[in-house]
Structure 1
Amino acid sequence: MEHRRLGLSGPSVSAIGLGCWNFAGPYGPTTEQESHETLAAARDLGVNLIDTANVYGMGISETVIGNYLRHNPGHFRIATKAGIRRDPATGARYFDNSADHLRSELEASLKRLGVDHVDLFYVHRREADRPIEEVTGTLQRFIEEGKIGGFGFSEIAPSSLKLAHAVAPVTAVQSEYSLWTRQPELGMVEACSDLGVALVAFCPLGRGIFASKAPNPASFGAADFRSHNPRFVEPNLARNIEAVAPFKAYAGDLGTTPVALAIAWLLSRGSHVIPIPGTRSAIHLEECVKGAELRLGATELAEIGRILPRGFAHGDRYSREQSNGVEGYC
Structure 2
Amino acid sequence: MKTRKLGAQGPKVSAVGLGAMNISGFYGPATQDEAFALFDRARELGVDHLDTSNVYGKGHSEETIGRYFKDRGAVFRLATKAGICTDPDTGARYFDNSAEHLTASLDASLARLGVECVDLFYVHRREADRPIEEVTETLAGLVRAGKTRAFGYSEIAPASLRRAAAIHPVAAVQSEYSLATRAPDLGLVQTCAALGTALVAFSPVGRGLLTDTPPDQARADASAFLKVNPRFVAPNLAANLTATDRLRELAAEMGLPAASLAIAWLLAQGDHVLPIPGTRNPDHLAEAVRGAELDLDAEDLARIEDALPVGWAHGDRYNQAQWIGPESFS
TM-score range, shorter chain: over 0.9
Instruction: Give the TM-score, by structure 2 length.
Output: 0.99
| Residues 217, 29 of structure 1: alpha-carbon distance in 2 compared, 3 angstrom cutoff | farther
Q: Paired residue for 1:16?
A: 16
Alpha-carbon offset, residue 205 of structure 1: 0.5
What amino acid is aligned across from residue 233 of structure 2 in structure 1?
V
* Structure 1, 208-217 or 263-272: larger mean CA deviation: 208-217
Alpha-carbon offset, residue 220 of structure 1: 4.2
Residues 1:141 and 2:141 are matched in the alignment: yes
What amino acid is aligned across from residue 82 of structure 2 in structure 1?
A
Q: Number of aligned pairs?
A: 330
Q: Paired residue for 1:113?
A: 113
Alpha-carbon offset, residue 221 of structure 1: 6.2
Q: Paired residue for 1:153?
A: 153
Q: Paired residue for 1:82?
A: 82
* Structure 1, 231-240 or 208-217: larger mean CA deviation: 208-217
Structure 2 CA distance, aligned partners of 1:220 and 1:234? 10
Structure 2 CA distance, aligned partners of 1:216 and 1:113? 35
Q: Paired residue for 1:166?
A: 166
Alpha-carbon offset, residue 214 of structure 1: 2.4
Identity of aligned residues (%): 56
Show CA shifts across 1:140-194 (max 9, x none): 0000010001000000000000000000000000000000100000000000000
Q: Paired residue for 1:48?
A: 48
What amino acid is aligned across from residue 38 of structure 1 in structure 2?
L
- SS of the residue corresponding to residue 23 of structure 1 reads helix
- SS of the residue corresponding to residue 199 of structure 2 reads strand
Residues 1:243 and 2:264 are matched in the alignment: no
- SS of the residue corresponding to residue 130 of structure 2 reads coil
Alpha-carbon offset, residue 298 of structure 1: 0.5
Q: Paired residue for 1:34?
A: 34
Aligned ranges 1:284-323 → 2 under 5 Å:
284-323=284-323
- SS of the residue corresponding to residue 218 of structure 2 reads helix
User: Any conservation in 2 of the 1:35–1:281 contact (CA below 8 Å)?
Assistant: no
User: Any conservation in 2 of the 1:52–1:62 contact (CA below 8 Å)?
Assistant: yes
User: Any conservation in 1 of the 2:217–2:237 contact (CA below 8 Å)?
Assistant: no
Q: Paired residue for 2:128?
A: 128
Q: Paired residue for 1:195?
A: 195
Q: Paired residue for 1:66?
A: 66
Show CA shifts across 1:29-62 (max 9, x none): 1111101100011111110000000000100110
Alpha-carbon offset, residue 217 of structure 1: 2.5
User: Any conservation in 2 of the 1:28–1:220 contact (CA below 8 Å)?
Assistant: no
- SS of the residue corresponding to residue 184 of structure 2 reads helix
Alpha-carbon offset, residue 75 of structure 1: 2.4
User: Any conservation in 1 of the 2:13–2:48 contact (CA below 8 Å)?
Assistant: yes
What is the RMSD computed on CA atoms of the aligned residues? 0.9
Segments of 4+ moved more than 3 angstroms = 220-224
| Residues 305, 221 of structure 1: alpha-carbon distance in 2 compared, 3 angstrom cutoff | closer
Show CA shifts across 1:116-161 (max 9, x none): 0100000000000000000000000000010001000000000000
